[in-house]
Structure 1
Amino acid sequence: MGFEYGGILGIIILVLDIWAILQIIKGGGSTGSKVLWILVILLLPVIGLIIWFLAGRGRV
């Protein structure tokens, strides 16, 4: 039963990470900041998403 919830949670995190990366790409920030935020999200999927949502969402 735990595996099923872990799989669903993993899919939700993946979808949210893809959404965040698309938002970063569409944003008006510099190329360097976009690359940096995308790397943070790819390397730290959960924590990177939370940091981007709190700190960088309106700036990139």
Structure 2
Amino acid sequence: MQIEYIWIVLAVVLLLLELWAINIVLRSTGGWETKGLWVVVLVFVPLLGLIAWAMFGPKREMAQQRKS
């Protein structure tokens, strides 16, 4: 397998993860300001934004949903 194919596969995986994260953000119960900020971060800083969202984004909401 050539090295170019590996980069293409990694780019496609990153794109799919980004689209999944944006979908989760837009379906969340947070305010529009929070949603907009996360979408901007995810779009303009893809890899670091995805890592930050995974660390700080959904865990608070999931914990609140479990309590209800």
Aligned counterparts of 1:34 and 1:23: Cα–Cα separation in 2: 10
Aligned counterparts of 1:26 and 1:44: Cα–Cα separation in 2: 21
**Larger Cα Rg: Structure 1 or Structure 2?**
2
If asked which structure has higher relative contact order (CA below 8 Å, sep 6+), I would say 1
Aligned counterparts of 1:57 and 1:44: Cα–Cα separation in 2: 18
Instruction: Provide the residue aligned with 1:36 in structure 2.
Output: 37
Q: Tell me, which stretches of 5 or more residues in structure 1 are unaligned?
A: none
Paired residues in the alignment total 60
Aligned-partner residue type, residue 34 of structure 1: K
Alignment of 1:9-20 (within 5 A): 9-20=10-21
* Alpha-carbon shift at residue 56 of structure 1 (Å): 1.0
Aligned-partner residue type, residue 28 of structure 2: G
Q: Tell me, which stretches of 5 or more residues in structure 2 are unaligned?
A: 62-68
SS of 2:29's partner is coil
Alignment of 1:1-60 (within 5 A): 1-59=2-60
What TM-score do the two structures reach when normalised by structure 1? 0.94
RMSD value, Cα: 1.0
Give runs of ≥4 in structure 1 deviating > 3 Å: none
What TM-score do the two structures reach when normalised by structure 2? 0.83
